[in-house]
Chains A and B, each alone.
Chain A
């Protein structure tokens, strides 16, 4: 099936998310849509999938113009989509999720459960997915959930499959499996639109690449094009792909975690007997697939959740039981993973957000009243220092772009003298310019002699920032390895394989991305 987009335009308020985009997907090709966060890739695909009404332009299927009033029409036309955030009902079984919307029924509107299960099993067997139709979706690992999404699309006879940032939540090994699946589907005649901002994956799998920047198509490229060329096309200027940092000059381990155990409300150990040491002047990256206890670990350190066992010692003081106030007073700076809900108060102004943890003490308040002038002066200084792009310091923080919101959070947390800096997913969803800035500030903080903990699920970021890397799996630290560890080894550890075994397995079989790393090392540009 040939799919063509002509002059698609989509406007949100004053923001032109898509500006006359033309795109042709030939039958049986893997077409990569490359662009950084916020470039308008997902908007375009949501228009194509009938979730958004375009403000201009047309969609053609096999050269016939079509209009989609909703996702139902798009599916009927043979378009399937795997969303970045899976569209699966967690409390339903796999079969129920696949059947939803086109349920096989027997008499009286009752669902033919056997038929629904058989359909899942057929597709699963055909592509070797190994998905159990009776399993509850919430019990499945993300990699399997993604396959459920693909089964969902295939069960509706999708001939064009849109994959929106499909590798964001996967380990390199799972990414490899996904790439194999994509090639299999392509051979079976399915066209694939592969949306991503990751250059390596694009080069590994795409037949054609279309690059989008600020809502416009800025060019097409061949998969053989070098990474730097793709990167500059994507960002609009030449970018350095790595993080510039000198080797760490690590001092004493002033921050120690011993035997830390945190329970969730049901009584499962979400952080399980964790030991960590962070030395002054080094960055320890906590790597792992989302949801393996990293969030709870950082929340326990900050005192947001009470551990059931273990100690957290900073500069010789045990922080357990002291709560957040004591942790802040001890000199912890904390950047939460969800900046828009936990990092800022969206309806407060930028200047207010910059003193959220300092407003109660001089110079920002005296005798219970806020000193507006001091707060204003502080804000004026910080937004210059941290390059926050805002119309005014009185603007609501929620109106800023993601990158600028994150800079506000960083500016606040780094404005106190720190004894420990923790950041969770510091660059998730940011554009390349903001990522570079955030990384630079984190490295500067390290070079000031602060122990730094970064939680990241992005292997690129893990490898770029980490002086040492602790890999977490199901609440436990699988191992702590040096910052230059092989990507494949890390990927296996993220799936719970112990270090020695991971090294052995990675040596035997390199993933596509792991090989790209090795090539890059062998031929420095």
Chain B
């Protein structure tokens, strides 16, 4: 018997739809922002001031002298370039062309620089400090979003990242304080996160409880438990239980001497180096390994996975616990990573911002990394400008990270597809 013999004329191709509604959202947003920069940073402020960007830190091998630029003129040039990019996006939208994410990214960098020229007029902006602080503050967000990716890709919604971070922060502080070794704290932190992960997945997989509700309840539970222990055990004997035991900064020989990049990336603690490793490994293994393929299959179409002999619930349980451990490790940032003692509710909602980073990064480790860095940057910008002193009220500056989060998630995300089966318990 030969192959099917029916001959067929090729069916007509679908007509290119001429009526596709054009999305003008991005061009409009960019133009408005560009005009704001042009007017308020470039035209309105009085000229004559200079903004100084300090690039080197004191300990750099190669010293680069600070760059001083005329504030309004530079802001003017930067905003005009930004507006040119906005024009490009109008052209792209009108022709239904896709330009990719580089355009808003470059626009954002230009806009922020124009903003800094204005905000730092007559002052000095520590550029390297701004960037290394951004990386520093994004550490818990990156670990949290990696945890979210692991859990959601396997089909479990992990709202409990906040609790996992807090649990990790607590246990890291206590273990490091008792043992005197911050590295033991780093080992203990994932255990706390994993325990929260166990609770989450048991309720989700075994009892089919709504995962969002379980997650929120677990966050409250961890707050309660840590607050209780803090105000009893920890407060009664601070010297033993809750000493500050910071992770030492380890400079990578050679690499840390590179101007700007060196101090930002390679003069960090072990926790940050672990972060690099985690992101790279996740990016590769999620998409190229047997583990990753099965994990994603379970999150997309669990029954398909079941019919090829993959144990859906076991896969979910293991990877949710792993995800909890990753978030727990990120929690160590708040105590041993930042060199602080444990304090009540010290994670301050970072777990939820990590979820936003995961969505903005489209459930993709590298994407989530950059989203987390963006949030970390806006957080640090607020702190840095507060120290430098700017014309903006500090309350407005405090809002920045959250405003950026809302706009980024609502405006930039566009069409994303979450794992198809996330949040749905698997039943035969």
Q: Which residues of A contact B (CB under 8 A)?
A: 49, 51-52, 70-73, 75, 81, 83, 87-92, 96-97, 99-103, 105, 108-111, 113, 127-128, 152, 173, 176-177, 180-181, 183-184, 187, 261, 263, 265-269, 272, 308-309, 473-476, 492, 495-498, 501, 505, 509, 511
Contact = CB atoms under 8 A, between A and B. Distances in A.
10 contacts: A71-B308, A92-B297, A109-B289, A109-B291, A180-B4, A183-B1, A187-B1, A263-B21, A308-B19, A511-B6
Contact of B17 (A72, A89, A272, A497): A272
Given A87-B304, A497-B8, 11 more contacts: A70-B311, A81-B307, A87-B303, A89-B305, A92-B296, A102-B308, A109-B285, A173-B6, A475-B14, A492-B8, A497-B11
B416 to A, nearest CB: 12
Task: Sort A-B residue pairs by CB-CB distance and give the 3 closest, nearest first.
Answer: A72-B309, A496-B11, A128-B3
Given A49-B307, A87-B307, A100-B294, A505 B4 contact: no
A508 B281 CA distance: 58
Nearest to B298: A89
B4 A177 contact: yes
Of the four ranges (under 10, 10 to 19, 20 to 34, 35 or more), the interface on chain B belongs to: 35 or more
A81 to B, nearest CB: 7
A173 B8 contact: yes
Contacts of B311: 70
Most buried by A among B3, B291, B305, B308: B308
Contact of B9 (A475, A497, A509): A497
A75 to B, nearest CB: 6
Nearest to A88: B304
Contacts of B59: none
Contact of B293 (A72, A100, A269): A100
A309 B19 contact: yes
A500 B197 CA distance: 63
A496 B13 CA distance: 9
B289 A110 contact: yes
B127 interface: no
B284 to A, nearest CB: 8
Given A71-B309, A128-B3, A177-B6, A103 B14 contact: no
B14 A474 contact: yes
B344 interface: no
Interface string B215-240: 00000000000000000000000000
Contact of B301 (A81, A88, A308, A496): A88
Interface in B244-297: 284-285, 288-291, 293-294, 296-297
Contact of A272 (B2, B14, B297, B300): B14
Q: Is chain B's binding surface mostly helix, strand, loop or mixed?
A: loop
B263 to A, nearest CB: 33
B97 interface: no
A466 to B, nearest CB: 22
B81 interface: no
A496 B307 contact: no
B382 to A, nearest CB: 36
B20 interface: yes
Given A71-B308, A75-B309, A272-B15, A87 B8 contact: no
A173 B294 CA distance: 35
Contacts of B285: 109-110
Interface string B1-45: 111111111011011010111000000000000000000000000
B310 interface: yes
Nearest to B310: A101
Contacts of A181: 4
Contact of B14 (A109, A267, A269): A269
B309 A70 contact: yes
B3 to A, nearest CB: 3
A75 B4 contact: no
B289 A263 contact: no
A268 B17 CA distance: 6
Nearest to A104: B290
B39 to A, nearest CB: 34
Contacts of A176: 4, 6
A135 B91 CA distance: 32
